[in-house]
Amino acid sequence: MVEQLANKVAIVTGAGSGKGQAIAELFAHEGAKVVAADSNAERLDQVVSKIKDAGGEAVAAVADVTKESDVEDMVQTAVKQYGHLDILVNNAGMLDKLAPVGTLTNELWDQVMTVNTTSVMIATREALKLFTEQKHGVILNIAAVEGTSDNRASAAVAASKHAVVGLTKNTAYMYQNVGIRTNAIAPGSGDAEDEESLNIPVAPNGNEIAQTALFLCSDISSYVNGVVVPV
């Protein structure tokens, strides 16, 4: 079977668990050399070990994606370890306490916006230094259904994910003529009450998100740019 990401180098943020772990593992299975980034060193080492035990290639990059110096080191890890970078998956993010605007504190707002949105901008900006020079690259942002529609999520998460969608579309437009594609995935969400009364499907698991990420980051989707794929 042909590996869909053979000879590709991919950074996956938030790779220590959940969607990020699933994406990192699938990408490695499909031939990518993976730079798995996360702030939790212990979980990250477990993910990298699992990838290597399965015959894949990966290296850990302990990083706080809200810190520019950490992001610079993360990107340089890819260059130093594998010589180049082809794919950036901005998956790291956070939820909060479902606070509406009336009870939202400045501190929580700033934290959510920094983790969910500013980190995407910082990592994208750093990767673009390489992508624009080499005239190719793929950026995939993990947004959320909360960033595309009305929802029960908190004001801060909804705003931050709307911003990720806007950033995705703008980056796609601004860099489309230099061989760079930028897309996003908007994972759905649901709870037991919603699922029963409104027939809303359960939230997709990490493997289902990873399969969509694989499509958007592989050459199969070479003409897909500036889209937000709901899953």
Q: Which helix (H) or strand (E) holds 183?
A: strand 180-186
C-alpha 143/C-alpha 169 separation (Å) is: 12
Place of tokens 């060193």: 41
Place of tokens 């950026």: 139
* Beta strand spans in 2-152 (E): 9-13, 33-38, 57-62, 87-90, 137-142
φ, ψ of residue 3 to 5 degrees: the values are -80, 125
pLDDT at 193: 43
Mean pLDDT of the chain: 92
pLDDT at 147: 77
pLDDT at 202: 58
Domain covering 9-230 in this structure, CATH number: 3.40.50.720
pLDDT in tens, 185-198: 999 875 434 444 44
Look up the pTM and report it. Answer: 0.93
Place of tokens 């993976």: 34
> Any idea where the domains of the chain sit in the sequence?
9-230
pLDDT at 152: 65
pLDDT in tens, 128-156: 999 999 999 999 999 988 777 766 678 99
How far, CA to CA in Å, does 192 sit from each of 99, 144, 157, 202, 211?
20, 19, 21, 8, 25
Instruction: State the Cα angle at 180 between 178 and 184, rounded to 5°.
Output: 150
Contacts of 218 (CB under 8 A, 6+ apart): 4, 5, 30
pLDDT band at 121; cut points 50, 70, 90: very high
Look at 65-69, 130-134, 161-165, 201-205 and tell me which has the smallest mean pLDDT.
201-205
